[in-house]
Each structure stands twice: as C-alpha cells, then as structure tokens.
Amino acid sequence: MTRVLALCADDYGISPGISAGILGLARAERLSAVSCITNSTHWPELAPRLSDLPKSVDIGLHLNLTEGVPLSQRLARRWPTLPSLATLISRAHLGLLPLAELRGEVHAQLRAFLHGHGVAPAYIDGHQHVHHLPGLRDTILDVTEHVQPLPAVRSTARLIGPGYGFKRWVIEATGGRRLERALTERVMAFNPALLGVYDFKQADYGALMRAWLNALPPEGGLLFCHPGTRLADDPPDAIADARTRELAYLSSADFKADLRDADVVLGRVWRTVDARVNPRTSSDD
C-alpha cells in the first residue's frame, strides 16, 4: 500500500544560503512543507520569495525561542538574548518561564509571518521542538486557536525511525505526549508520526532516509529535515555540513528512486482525532 510522507524543511529565513537551498527543493516539489523562522533579520527580505512555490508545499511558522534575539520589546526587556535549549527546557519544567512575555513573543513572530507571507501559516511548530514544553505548550495553542484558518500543529509524541533512541525519548518525554493529548482535546490537526531525528554527523543521509521510509507507518508521517547551502556572508552554522549533505541527497535521482522503491509519495498527513473515539492511553510526562 502506498504510504504518504510529509517532508518538511526547517529553518527557512534563518540565512540566505539555507533559504536558497530550501527554495530550490520546494520549487522542484521535493518537499511537502517549509517551516519559517521570522525573528531573523533576513526574514523580511526572504519572505516574498515563498509566493511562487507549488500549491503542494505548505508554508508554516517555526517558532524560535532559543536562538538570536526576541522580536517583542516586552520579552527583550526580560531576555535580551534568547536562552539556550537546555535553559529553556529546565525553566519550563520548573515553572519559571515568563509566560506573559512569551505569549507576546509568539504573537510577534506570528505577526511577522502574516506581514511577510500575507496569509496565515498552514501549520505551526517549534525550532528545537520548544512548542511542546510545559507552559509554552498551552500558551502557543491558545494563540494558535485564534488564527483563521486554524493551522495544524506538529506533534512530537511519536518519534520513529532508526537509532538515536535516547534523543527521541527526550523529545517525546519533555512534552510531546502531553502536546498530542492537548491537540486531540482541542480537535486540532496534527501529524500521526514524526521522523528525522539523528545526530547531524552521519555522512550517508540516503541510508538514513531509506531507514525512515522503511519505518513509515501505513497512516503516514512527517519527516523534518535541515537542507541548505552556505553563502560567504551567512552567519556561522553548527550543522552546515549536514545541511549540505541533506540538500545533495534530496536534490538527487537517488531520493526519487528511494521513494519509488519504498512505495512512498510526498504529500500532506495532517489529521484530527476525536478524543471520545481515540482516547490517549500513554502515561503522563
């Protein structure tokens, strides 16, 4: 049976080189979705370039709360620079996040998306999966529910694929399971499974993709990736080599052949679940 993979490139807008690589893949219909970072200084220049992408490519908001500086003045007074992921996770689980200021930042990044792209995001997710963290989770979903048409939200509750079990468990356990329960209760659309976790060091991205395709369930899933190029004026990027490898593979004939051999097509997998019919049974995190 043919399965559907939603292939999403994260980090559009963070730099011209990364964004150029993503645009090339999207125009060639090698992607299902593009997630945009709007607190980057490059976003106003790069946003209009999304206007001519194929209708098959969803454009979403990639909320960024761990790199760079805030867009909102209110959060900037509290956090002139956004905290590291480890700091944000610890503060979230200790109940120490400035949620009122963070709500303002979510609104600011959403407004920047609307101003730059002209329409509401098809979906919302978080850079480094921060959208599922305690406190932030409900704050983001509350804001999202007021967007029309209602965006889908990336679920991090079910991470599948080869290896990296501890990393996948950390993502699920720091808020992924509770996020999916909240999405189910609010009748908001989400992906049935998530793939794409690795350490950014493996040289053979094609081998990883073939393993992910093999693990893709019958109901389909969303795979996040980080392709891109590096231009001379781009800021430093810790995963630049991985981005180049991903871009080369996703642009290649090998990728098309791997999809064909696995009987997988690119497409959308967002769905809503009725909590009365499909109650969540996993333990609290």
Radius of gyration of the CA atoms of the chain, in A: 18
| Inside any domain, residue 277 | no
> Does residue 92 sit within a domain?
yes
Least confident of 100-109, 144-153, 157-166, 234-243: 157-166
Q: What is the CATH number of the domain that holds 200?
A: 3.20.20.370
Domain assignment of residue 283, yes or no: no
Q: Tell me the pLDDT tens digit for each residue of 184-207.
A: 999 999 999 999 999 999 999 999
| In the predicted structure, residue 14 carries a pLDDT above the cut 90 | yes
User: Which class for 257: exposed (0-12), middle (13-18), buried (19 or more C-beta within 10 A)?
Assistant: exposed
Examine residue 279 and state whether it is found in any structural domain, yes or no: no
Q: Is residue 272, in this structure, part of any structural domain at all?
A: no
Does residue 67 fall inside a structural domain?
A: yes
Number of domains in the chain: 1
Question: How crowded is residue 135: how many other Cβ atoms within 10 Å of its Cβ?
Answer: 18
Confidence of residue 212 (pLDDT cuts 50, 70, 90): very high
pLDDT in tens, 4-13: 999 999 999 9
In terms of Cα–Cα distance, which of 214, 106, 201 is closest to 153? 106
Beta bridge partners of 33: 8, 58
**Domain membership flag for residue 156:** yes
Q: Note the pLDDT of residue 278.
A: 52
pLDDT digits (tens, 9 = 90+) for 49-99: 999 999 999 999 999 999 999 999 999 999 999 999 999 999 999 999 999
What pTM was computed for the model? 0.93
Structural domain span for residue 108: 3-266
Cα–Cα dist 17/37, whole Å: 14
State residue 152's pLDDT score: 98
Tell whether 273 is covered by a domain: no
Q: Is residue 87 within a helix (H) or strand (E), and if so which, with residue range?
A: helix 85-93
